[in-house]
Structure 1
Amino acid sequence: MARQLPPTAGPDDTSKGDPWHAFGYVVSGVAVYGLAGWALDRWLGTTFLVAIGILIGAGFGIYMTYARFNKASADDKPVGD
């Protein structure tokens, strides 16, 4: 009997992006930069840097999500276009 090989991944089988990656980017950005803002608040004796850190982290997370999904959609375009 001939051995059957699994089908190769076609263009329709590739993933377009995992929504958990987007969630992870935003949450980790908020956590890392919020923690950095909190540490700077404690060190400098201020109270506003944690909020700035959270906003910057969310912005970086959204940017990383956009960059990842934009790259995936750019790779899907035909070569002639």
Structure 2
Amino acid sequence: MSQQDPSARPQGERPKGDPWHAFGYIVSGVAFYGVLGWLVDRWLGTGFVVAIGILIGAALGIYLTFSRFNRALPPDQPHDQKK
């Protein structure tokens, strides 16, 4: 079994759209910030920070998904053309 180095990808090639990466970003964001919100709730004696943490985690997971898979490709320029 060989692992491919992600940095060995040709220049300008977009990352492949693996749905498990998107799922992982969103679920891990919700889990991480939900747990942080729960800890803050326990510390402050409140009950609403966990919901805010879950929403922030979902938003950051969606943002990471879009930023990873929606990168604009640089325009193609011939190698011998100088600026």
- Residues 37-69 of structure 1: CA deviation (Å, up to 9, x unaligned): 000000000000000000000000000000001
Runs of 4+ in 1 over 6 A off after TM superposition: none
Give identity over the alignment, percent.
69
Which ranges of structure 1 fall in alignment gaps of 5 or more residues?
1-13
Q: Secondary structure at the match of 2:70?
A: helix
In structure 1, the residue matched to 2:33 is 33
- TM-score relative to the length of structure 1: 0.72
Based on CA coordinates, which of the two structures has the bigger radius of gyration?
1
In structure 2, the residue matched to 1:6 is none
Q: Secondary structure at the match of 1:43?
A: helix
- The alpha-carbon deviation at position 17 of structure 1 amounts to 1.6
Which ranges of structure 2 fall in alignment gaps of 5 or more residues?
1-13, 78-83
Aligned residue-pair number: 66
In structure 1, the residue matched to 2:21 is 21
CA RMSD of aligned residues (A): 2.1
> Contact conserved, 2:29 with 2:58, CA < 8 A, in 1?
yes
